Homo-oligomer: A and B are copies of this chain.
Amino acid sequence: MKTSLKDIAEELRLSKTTVSWVLSGRGNERGISQATQDRVKQCARRMNYQPNLLARSLNTGVSSTIGLILPSISDSFYSQVAREVEMEAERHGYSLMICSSESEGERENRMIRMFRAKQVDGIILAPTKISKTEIRQLVDDAFPLVVFDRYFSELKTHYIIIDNEQSSYRLVSHLIERGARRIAIVTTNPHLTTMDQRRAGYARALTEAGLPVDPDLYGEAAFVGYEENVFRALDRIFAKAPDVDGFFFTTHILALEAFRYFHGRRIDINDGYGLACIHEVPAMSVLAPAMNVARMPVGEIGRNAVRMLLGDIRNRGGLSRSADREFESLVLPCELCFRD
């Protein structure tokens, strides 16, 4: 049998109150005699007492748990963020429930409801942006929430994103400096602000350099079945713009898939092409030593998300749903690595 406070109290012929004070470390504060404290602690150890945190949470209204919802746990970017969030949360005494929305709006809604029902103290979320009914509900209820990677301009939330436009701009500008004139962009889901901003940065770099933004150099690969889509997009680019001399990939996944394409088509990408990509994976430095990358600040994202969320959690009830709540928006710069 599991031992409870009551068991210890009965064993020692004390009240649950006393046992509770001692075990929660507030024995001195309550002026409980050292002798009693020792007896209680020893008995707890002997009976291998472990507090039931569910009961504590039900009583205090605090679960010391935060919920993290990711579009995909197995994606390297999100799993790195998850790691940072977990470490930082643990440092503050919080543990983590993790769910994957699989980029499905309805799943995301379900996860949010589930987390609330399980009484998490707050939620960190990389939204799918497909359906936001439950997110809106969180906002309305002033539920502690931090959104990252993507955000909603029309919703009042804390959010953390990277400087998509600026990083893209600088990467592409670098390619231009290095002599590229016909730079293709390979991107995905353009309806996401993230991707839209990256495309905008690409366009600005070209325009500022007096280069045209040529639709023939635009490659789009829908996320579902992106393997073939990347191939198709690249085939189209090479057909319509055989003079292409640079590639800007808006995600690491697209870049990796492109490498497979180049390899299959026997194109030596490391010769005569300017290359740039958002987010880095270990293999990249071998696959394309000359690839210029914008490194996602996963540590900053994770740590800041937890910091913001805990700030909100502490303030709960205080400001609560007042309209003049302060929302922090963080636009983190990527670290740019120029390699060619």
Contact = CB atoms under 8 A, between A and B. Distances in A.
A283 B285 contact: no
A26 interface: no
A290 interface: no
Interface in A93-127: 95-100, 113-114, 116-119
Interface stretch (A76-84, A147-155, A161-169, A243-251): A76-84
A86 B72 CA distance: 11
Contacts of A259: 283, 286
A224 interface: no
Contacts of A76: 74, 76, 79
A192 interface: no
Nearest to A80: B74
A57 B76 CA distance: 34
A289 interface: yes
A117 B50 contact: yes
Could you say how many copies of this chain the assembly holds? 2
A256 B286 contact: yes
A114 B56 CA distance: 13
A12 interface: no
A55 B58 contact: yes
B86 A79 contact: no
B100 A98 contact: no
Contacts of A87: 100
Give chain A's interface residue range (CB within 8 Å of chain B). Answer: 35 or more
A260 interface: yes
Interface in A14-57: 50-55, 57
Contact of A79 (B50, B73, B99): B73
Given A74-B76, A74-B80, A263-B289, A58 B52 contact: yes
Nearest to A258: B286
Contact of A82 (B73, B260, B286): B73
A57 B65 CA distance: 16
Nearest to A260: B286
Contacts of A51: 117
A95 B89 CA distance: 19
Contacts of A114: 95
Contacts of A95: 97, 99, 114, 118
B74 A82 contact: yes
A100 B83 contact: yes
A47 to B, nearest CB: 13
Nearest to A137: B48
A63 B54 contact: yes
A234 to B, nearest CB: 14
Contacts of A331: none
17 contacts: A50-B113, A50-B116, A50-B117, A52-B58, A52-B117, A54-B58, A65-B118, A74-B76, A76-B79, A79-B82, A82-B98, A83-B100, A95-B99, A96-B99, A97-B98, A98-B98, A256-B282
List 4 A-B pairs, minimum CB-CB distance, nearest first.
Answer: A283-B283, A79-B79, A74-B83, A98-B98
Given A50-B113, A52-B58, A83-B100, 8 more contacts: A73-B73, A74-B80, A86-B100, A95-B99, A95-B118, A256-B282, A260-B285, A260-B286
